[in-house]
Structure formats: C-alpha cells, structure tokens
Chain A
Amino acid sequence: MTQPIWILPALPFVGFLVLALAGRYLPKKGIAATGIGAIALSFLYALYLGTAFLSDPAHRMEFTLWEWIRIDSFVPSLSLSIDSLTYIFILVITGVGGLIHWYSAEYMAEEEGYARFFAYMNLFVGFMLTLVMASNLLVLYLGWEGVGLCSYLLIGFFYRDPANNYAARKAFIVTRIGDTALLIGLLLLIREFGTLDIQTISNNATSVLGANTALATAVALLLLGGAVGKSAQLPLQVWLPDAMAGPSPVSALIHAATMVTAGVYLVARTHALFILSPLAMQTVAIIGALTLLIAAISALFQYDIKRVLAYSTISQIGYMFLALGVGAWSAAIFHFVIHAFFKALLFLAAGAVILALHHEQNMFKMGGLYKKLPTIFWTFLIGSLSLAALPFISGGFFSKDSIIWYALASTNGNILLWTLATVGAFITSLYTFRMIFITFFGTEKTHVHYIPGKTMTIPLIVLAILTTFGGYIELPHNIAHVQLFSEFLSASLPAVSIKSTLPPEGILQLVVAILSLAGIGLAYQLYYKTEPTYKTSPVRQFFLQGWNFDKLYDTLFVRPFVWVSKTNASDAIDEVFDYVGLQLKKLGNTLAMSINGQINWYLASMVIGFIILIVFMIW
C-alpha cells in the first residue's frame, strides 16, 4: 500500500496558508502553535514512516500526485519518493527545523511580523521537503527555487532597513547564477534522457551519456554550478556572509542546517552522473578543499559573531563537497547531519547571546558572559567542540575525521586534499575557540539585558545532546565496527572505494586530533591570556572581507554593467524605433498642412487629381 507521503510537505504548506491568510487574527500563542505544530506533526509522521525504513533500509516509498506537464514525450509528474537518503534529510529538516521553530517562538516575540515569520519559515520547510522528496529533477528544481524564494523573503525579513533588502537581493541574484547553470543541465538531461526521473537517469546514465565523455562532464559540471550557488561554495560564496542580516533562527535553519546543504543533496542524489566523469569529481573535491580553506581563514578575522559562523558554514560545507568529490558519499551526508546539529546549535546560541545583549553582534564588545549566561555558554561550548572536531567527545570528530581520512584514502583522494583538509581543521579549531574566548571570557563590555527563557534554552540543550551523541552511530574502522549510518545509506549511495596501500589510519587520526587541540591551545594563548582587542591592517582587511571576492565581482561584473546601463540610459535601440515614429509623425504633420481650410486650395487639389486621372485614362 502506498503511504500518503505527500502529507509531509503538505503540513508545512497548510501552516503557511493558515498563517498567511489568518495570521493577523490569531494571538501570538496561536501563531506559534500553528507554525511549530505543522513542523512537529511532519516530524512525527516522518518518525512513523521511519518504522518501515528501520527494518529495511532499501525500502522505498513513492507517491505520484498528478501529471504535471505534457510536452511530446516529456511527461514529468508531481511525484514524491522517499528512500534512505531522503529520509535522513527529512528527519533533519523537520527535527532540527522543529526545534528552531520552537526557539523562534521566544526569539521573535518582540519583533513585528510574528505571523509572517512563521508563515515564511513553514513555507520554507515545505519547499525544502519538496526538494528532498522529489522523485524527478523538475520537482527538485521546484523545491530549489522555492527555498531560494523563502531565503530571499527571510533574509530581508526586517525589510525596513535597506541594507537587509540589499543582502536579500544579493543572495537571490548570486544563487540565480547557479540556478541558471542547473537549469541548462536539466535541459541537457531532458534532451539526452527524455525524462527527468532520477531513478531512470541513474539506471541509464552510463548507457546514454557514456563514461568519461565531454557530455557527461558538461552535465555534471552544470549541476555542480547549481549546487555551488545554493551551497555558497567558490566562486559563488559571496552571498552567505551578507545573509546574516536575517534573524538568527533564519540563519540557523536556512543558512546552516538545510538550504545550503541542498547542493550537497543534489550532488549526492545525482551521483550516478558525477561518477561518469572523473573530471567533475575532481572539480567537486577541489572546490570543496579550496572553499574550506579560504572560508576558514576569513572566519579567523571576523568581528561579527554571526559572520564567523557564516564563514564557518561555508567552510564545513566545503568539507562535505570534498567528501562528495572523492566519492565518500555517505561520509558527506554523515557530516551534513552532525553539522546541522552543531551549526544550528551555534547559531541559536549566538542568537540568544545577541538577544541577551540587546542586539549587539560585535564579539569585541562582548565578554565575561560565561557567568551570566551559563546554559547558553555550555551549549555553545558543546557546539564549538563539535565544530572543532575534538576527539571522541563530540560528534563532529567522527564525521570530519572520516572525511579527512577519505580525502587521502579514497581512490580519488590525494595527499594534497588531505593536507588542505587538515590545515582547515586546525584553523577551524582556532577560530572557533577565538570566538568562544572573546565572547564568553574576559571583561564584560556590554551588560546582559535579558536572560533567555526556557523556550529558547531547551532547543539548545536538545541540540547539544544530539551533537554529542549523534556521532556514535558511525565510528571509524580502527576503533569499532559501528557502521549504522553508512549501512542505512548503502541502498541509496554507493560505498567509497579505498586505495589498496594506505598509511595507517590511526597515525593520521592522531595528527588531526593533535592539530585540533593545538588550535584550542593557540586560541587560549592569543585570546584568553591577553585581552582581545580588534586590530585592523590591510592584510586583516583583506581577509575580513572574505578575500575581497565582493570587490572582485564588483569590478568584473557590476561596474561594467552599471556603466553600460548608464550610457544606454536613453536606450539606443529604442531611439532607432523612436526615430521611425518621429519621421512618420513629421510626415503626417507635413501632410496635415494641406488641410488648411482654404477652399481655393481644395479646389486646386481636386483639379490636379482630376488631371492626373484623365492622363491615366488617356494613356
């Protein structure tokens, strides 16, 4: 029997409709209840569906709603499906999403547009679920565009400040570039396969596109373009730091846990196409590796706490892309899950700090908070331990460690990727604890206005628990044989192939562990022992601005475009057409002069016409 799995995205959409249409008439508690309830019900339903998956990971649920378009032989339908990969994502989206909704009930209580916020958040969750549950790439693209829209709406949530609107536009336009690449890729797929059904494409990929052909590489690279845009990787990573203009729950849900991982999901979903082209895989890995390093270094120089976390997100997703690029599919998804936990936790905790200090976001104006906000401090610390991948006590260790290992051990991996990932881990640990020491220790520069209540702290605690213990479902080989996660995904994603001769895993793990601890140590030296002050210099400025990618794009693209628009302000092409019209008007005016009301003139014209007529008749 087919389960009505469409209920999963339908519930948030219903929540959106209720809040959008009737939001202004509901009391605050009602709004929060509707918003949280829609997601919570989806989560519970997902848990119920999960019973079928636990017994049989290869289980697959499908549901076709209706035939969407019919063009010749291309007949995509609105169909949803759940396999193990999708199921993981559904749990994260609804679970972490539900916790974030719960948190927002208190966080957004003082802001205007309470109902609008929850409406947009529900809409977002609905679209994200559509994206991951899509059975064909067209429905996926529908969800893709939908989450892009919600991201725009939510970044610009405080629309009265034009800077927020600018950030929202920037996010939308930059992701649009990626979306266009994705669309071209989809069109190529339609041309080659005649369908966008993922199963069909995966099964026939080798036969239709051929292994290692230019076409396969092109398709894979185009899909990668879309993923890069949505997941804020090189070269389209410029929008994510500015997207921090939105409220903290938005940053947590959209720009940490879910939407930015849509690119990861896309690559994982269409792994069959990527496998065909080693060049594309290499590109994915290199992009991941470079991004993680560049973003990590940029995070080291930020002073806004949310921007640190934003660059951190870019960096961590770089790790996921690196894993995808070397063929460690389930490792990437594992890191996604753990990252969702700790990054959402960090963002929510940072939001709590910001709210407590009355919207102060500059870390260098904070300090000494560990006494005043103990719960938040401890949860933040647990999240940071995961981020820095401290050995054994954090879930982040297991996921990041496996990625770094596979960067070397996979048949597509090499020592360079491993080195970049390891250096990235060191820097990650450094900037994470820099953030902690500056924010929570030292002298108190801004006083605490407001202690966050239970509605905000309980989700933090839940996420902290998940972060710590979530890693234990997948342990590296040399420690124990717990492969729950990859076994669960083995039905949807191929296993990673490993080189035959390898350096011992244990030694490399030790290197990574030592480096993370060294990062903490260095941060302690620099930022705990001495009072942290913010210094600027041209070098620091360069890294602060994210390696000046914004300036680069401004000079390369924005300025020429603006210049062209300005010079063409009177629109040359328009003028050509206007000229024609003008000449015709002049002609008309000239002819109109013959209507001068003088009878003699009319008579003369008649005579002339008559003469012409006679001449024609005679000849």
Chain B
Amino acid sequence: MIPYEIQILVAAFLFAIGLIGLLTRRNLIFMLMSVEIMMNAGAFAFVASGARWTQADGQVMFLFVLTVAAAEVAVALALLILMHKHFKTVDTNQLNSLKN
C-alpha cells in the first residue's frame, strides 16, 4: 500500500504543475486548463484522504469538487467566448483596463 503521504505528495506535485502553468501561460485556454489540473489534484487529495480512513466521505467530497469544476468550466468558457468576440484574441494581456 502506497503510504498516504506519498499520495498527498503526488497530489501536491500535480497542483504545483497546474500552478506553474497558470502563472506562465498567457493564453486563456491554457490558464483554464491549468486551473482544471489544480482542481483535479485537489480532488485526488480528498479521495486519498477518504481512502486512508476507509470512509466514503472523501469520494462524496470528490463529487462536489467535480460539480464545482463543471460549473466553473461552463461559465468560464462562456466568458472565453465573449472575450474572443470582443477582443478577437484570448491573450489575457489585453485584459488590462484595471490598470491605474
């Protein structure tokens, strides 16, 4: 049995990769993808924790995370479509109207 800490470590690794991708890429699609990677990592951490103590709660939590991810993706992609319509590009560097 893989030790619990290793499982969490893997989840952390995945989270970190997702984070790096979020910070590095300018393309909105890639940023959303990175967010998905991060959420997936988090969800896996939940599942691993649930399995550690043989409780089903972890998987229930996983379900909720999944739900949230789905909802978020739906709205985010709608926004992405809007952005594409407005700016003709999905480069987030164009979204700087909040500049002082």
| Chains A and B touch each other in the complex, with CB atoms below 8 Å apart | yes
A→B interface (CB under 8 Å): 592-593, 595-600, 603-604, 607
**Looking at the complex, which of B2-10, B73-81, B90-98 is the stretch in contact with chain A?**
B90-98
> B99 touches which one: A596, A600, A603, A607 (CB < 8 A)?
A596
What string of 1s and 0s marks CB contacts (under 8 Å) between B10-35 and chain A? 00000000010011101000010000
With A597-B95, A598-B93: A603-B100 Cβ-Cβ less than 8 Å: no
A596 with B96: CB separation less than 8 A: yes
16 contacts between A and B (CB under 8 A): A592-B100, A595-B98, A595-B99, A595-B100, A596-B96, A596-B99, A597-B95, A597-B98, A597-B99, A599-B31, A599-B92, A599-B95, A600-B24, A604-B23, A607-B19, A607-B23
A600 and B92 contacting across the interface, CB-CB below 8 Å: yes
Contact between B96 and A600, CB atoms less than 8 A apart = no
Residue total for B at the interface (Cβ-Cβ under 8 A): 14
Binding site secondary structure of chain A = helix
Distance between B42 CB and nearest chain A CB, rounded to angstroms? 13
What 16 additional pairs, Cβ within 8 angstroms, besides A598-B92, A599-B95, A600-B92? A592-B100, A595-B98, A595-B100, A596-B96, A596-B99, A596-B100, A597-B96, A597-B97, A597-B98, A597-B99, A598-B93, A599-B31, A599-B92, A604-B23, A607-B19, A607-B23
Q: Name which residue of chain B comes closest to A599, CB basis.
A: B92
Interface residues of B in 17-72 (CB under 8 A from A): 19, 22-24, 26, 31
The smallest beta-carbon distance between A125 and chain B, in angstroms, is 67
List A contacts of B23 (CB < 8 A): 600, 603-604, 607
Instruction: Report chain B residues within 8 Å CB of A593.
Output: 100
Residues from chain A with Cβ under 8 Å of B100 in the complex: 592-593, 595-596
Q: Which residue of B lies closest to A602 (CB)?
A: B98
Give the Cβ gap from A607 to chain B, nearest Cβ, in Å. Answer: 6
Residues of chain B contacted by A596 (CB below 8 angstroms): 96, 99-100
Nearest residue in B to A610 (C-beta to C-beta)?
B19
Chain A nearest Cβ from B50, distance in angstroms: 23
Q: Which residues of A contact B95 (CB under 8 A)?
A: 597, 599
CB distance from A1 to the nearest CB of B (A): 81
A598 CA to B26 CA, complexed, in Å: 10
Q: Which residues of A contact B92 (CB under 8 A)?
A: 598-600
Q: Which chain B residues border A600 with CB–CB below 8 Å? A: 23-24, 26, 92
> How many angstroms between the C-alpha atoms of A300 and B51 in the bound complex?
120
